[in-house]
Amino acid sequence: MNNGIIIFSFVFLVIAVSCNKEDNGSSLERKDKTVIYEVDLSLDPELPNWMGNIDSGKFIEMLLEKVKSGKLTAYSPLTVKPSPLTWNDIEFTLGVRTDSIEMTDPETGKVSWKVERNEINTNEIKRLIFIEEWSFDESNLQFNKKILGLAPVRVFYKEGYDTELKSIAFVVYFGEKKPPVLGV
């Protein structure tokens, strides 16, 4: 009698495990998934600081310096196959312009031209896009995530527009996996 219960229990367990392994969409298997999301770098005094003790302004300056020096390669966020950007491309995306300004001397009436170049305004980088690989470890009931890349987002106003504009300056990756940011 006990052997029958043991055999029945074993068969039932095998069937239950087999049914659970069937991919019906409801099972939480270990699968890696790329997750892309945007976060605000500005700190709201009413909300907890998600960045902890990290100074977001200093972080952005360090990120830009590493890209400018070539320690990190910046890629275009608009291509499926990542293509490297030059520092001039990045400066343009971040609003750096060289303008010629006509100046008239009020005493002599002489006209001259002055060339002005603005610099990157790091205060305009107000958001950050995280590109991460998430997985779920069923055995430990634990989510794991790995940062694959980051993309700073410039938020700015332009004459003639009533709302703020946003542009993704570039993407940097930390490893070989380089998923597109916009899924183009």
Q: Give 105: exposed, middle or buried? Use CB within 10 Å, 0-12, 13-18, 19+.
A: exposed
pLDDT at 40: 87
Give per-10-residue mean pLDDT for the chain (184 aa): 37 33 41 84 67 80 96 89 91 88 87 85 92 88 91 90 89 86 56
**Could you give the number of structural domains in the chain?**
1
pTM: 0.70
CB within 8 Å of 61: residues ≥ 6 apart:
122
pLDDT at 44: 64
Residue 147: domain span: 29-173
Q: Which of 44, 87, 92 is nearest to 68 (CA)?
A: 87
Query: Residue 181 domain-assigned?
Result: no
CB contact at 8 A, 83 and 171: no
Q: Is 109 left (phi over 0), alpha (psi -120 to 50) or beta?
A: left
Query: Residue 74 domain-assigned?
Result: yes
Query: Residue 46 domain-assigned?
Result: yes
